[in-house]
Chains A and B, each alone.
Chain A
């Protein structure tokens, strides 16, 4: 397959001058000891109402004076008027993000990249598998699907983290569990449980194997650390999920987000343009460049 045939010209004719939207930090939620979720609203209402994105797309968030960093949009496109990103404190930009207060101004460029095929997934069962902060892009799809609940069949959410403290979106996890139309399985790695933890204890691949969700008429959406993906993918295949119906999202270091700066490629695949959403079949085709 030639690279060109994979490219959907989403930005054809769009001039990019790398100027970000001015965003106001409206709400900061502490997720874990080192992860916060930021709700950002457009300072310019006209820009905000003209803005739209699709589940899976990413953007470049910036702190003026510190620089830009790439994250997925973690909120659902069905929730309009704001975007959210969940950020672990790690490098220059993320440390600066963590020092923000509500009301502060940041930059956002996007949305860039492709998206999860929500239209193709409509009318089917969906299994979500997420690990740790990998829940951020998955959460976007979960809310998108739940906000259009009658368009989808059974929904199963399997989420695991190293410890109870490392689970993100704790209030939403409870909300999903309380819903009658959603099946949830939450787990923490052995040793990460607390006395009052009522979920499972075990690694994501193991718990997935045990709970064995049906692959019939189903799509899987998966995101997590590389080691989780590595061991979870074979289990999904074993359960009968088709490689073309297992979707994941990749991250790589990026600067431009629009296919110019030349660093996010995995072999011939540009994560920013051909992705960030890829099928397991596509990932299998990729060379060992990750």
Chain B
């Protein structure tokens, strides 16, 4: 049974102040032009929580769209000298991410600590504190419940906050880190109240996710891949907005005597993603790339990291210019028999 606390009023500002008091830089869903993305926040009322979810995923806080891995300068004779990579020293806290985004971090943690540990991701992530906010609204693209998650799921969060009608909030203590933080701020996180319960969004289970992997296991070659890919523009927007997609590119950029090696988000929909210098491409067609995308999320990732690389946030569908629906694709797969029909051997 998880410990439950109660914040009396204006939980946004109270939490922000408590986090700032511990030296955290707090990232929250903030308006950035027309979009909502995670940005440093000091004023509680700036948090955008009336939108179903932020437009951009939480992963950007820990795996930025672009970041410098290495800097170097060229001397008078052109000889390069490296300067040590910059180490992020700020402690990051997140306030106001949705439970799906918090759960996605669990998958990213596994990727960036699988065997080799990624210095840059972990520098941001190890000290971080995740205060997610449960969903009271959803839309028809939300399908977390089909992935074993929920609008009030706590996986990946340190504290799960659920706003209450009285202006306060119910706080579920999830991790040891969260417990320590709540204990250190007992004035903020008081004993739980017996008042009205929080509103939890109703997200219907849209498909049987258990049907997906058995079908993928048996259908590397299938017409479905071509069918899906014909509808896809290959623009990669779904990957950039996906909280679990972690693939990246590494490029050198130079300006006069200065140079740097950067890591940028990348996407498996692009033909250049896998193309060899020789011109050979292991995944030369949109169909083969779509197969890899779905296989990676619902089969390979499961085999290697024991979870799916999808949390049902629905962003890929909200952003898709072609109106492709991952829910519909998964429904199609779930409706197919997992086993290939046995072919009769004729003499």
Q: Which residues of A contact B (CB under 8 A)?
A: 2-4, 7, 9-20, 22, 62-69, 90-91, 94, 104-105, 107, 226, 251-253, 255-256, 258-268, 273, 287-290
CA of A105 to CA of B72, assembled, Å: 12
Which single residue of chain A is at the shortest CB-CB distance from B111?
A: A260
CA of A3 to CA of B116, assembled, Å: 17
CA of A48 to CA of B111, assembled, Å: 30
- A-B contact number at CB 8 A: 145
CB neighbours of A260 from chain B (8 A): 111-112, 114, 116, 118, 246, 248
Contact A3 B282 (CB under 8 A): no
Per the CB 8 Å criterion, the residue count for chain B at the interface is: 51
Contact B220 A16 (CB under 8 A): no
B62 contacts A by Cβ under 8 Å: no
B138 contacts A by Cβ under 8 Å: no
CB neighbours of B31 from chain A (8 A): none
Jot down 8 A-B pairs with beta carbons below 8 A, ordered by A: A7-B115, A18-B261, A22-B82, A255-B249, A260-B248, A267-B295, A268-B299, A288-B221
CB neighbours of A267 from chain B (8 A): 220, 295, 300
A40 to chain B, nearest CB (A): 14
A5 to chain B, nearest CB (A): 10
B3 contacts A by Cβ under 8 Å: no
CA of A14 to CA of B82, assembled, Å: 21
Of the residues B70, B122, B246, B276, contact of A19 by C-beta under 8 Å: B70
B320 contacts A by Cβ under 8 Å: no
Contact A290 B282 (CB under 8 A): yes
Contact A262 B296 (CB under 8 A): yes
Closest 10 CB pairs of A and B: A262-B247, A17-B119, A64-B80, A91-B277, A11-B116, A258-B116, A3-B303, A287-B220, A268-B300, A65-B254
Contact B221 A12 (CB under 8 A): no
Q: A10-B115, A64-B80, A94-B277 are in contact. Are A289 and B282 (CB under 8 A)?
A: yes
CA of A142 to CA of B118, assembled, Å: 34
CB neighbours of A4 from chain B (8 A): 303-304
Binding site of A, secondary structure by majority: helix, strand, loop or mixed? loop
Of the residues A22, A94, A255, A266, contact of B250 by C-beta under 8 Å: A255
Q: A14-B116, A261-B248 are in contact. Are A253 and B276 (CB under 8 A)?
A: yes
CA of A264 to CA of B295, assembled, Å: 14
CB neighbours of B251 from chain A (8 A): 67
CA of A4 to CA of B110, assembled, Å: 13
CA of A266 to CA of B114, assembled, Å: 18
B75 to chain A, nearest CB (A): 10
A105 to chain B, nearest CB (A): 5
CB neighbours of A262 from chain B (8 A): 246-248, 266, 268, 296
B120 contacts A by Cβ under 8 Å: yes
Contact B70 A18 (CB under 8 A): yes
CB neighbours of A67 from chain B (8 A): 250-252, 261
Contact A289 B283 (CB under 8 A): yes
Which single residue of chain A is at the shortest CB-CB distance from B273?
A: A263
CB neighbours of A18 from chain B (8 A): 69-70, 85, 119, 250, 261, 263
Q: A3-B304, A90-B277 are in contact. Are A16 and B70 (CB under 8 A)?
A: no
CA of A105 to CA of B78, assembled, Å: 9
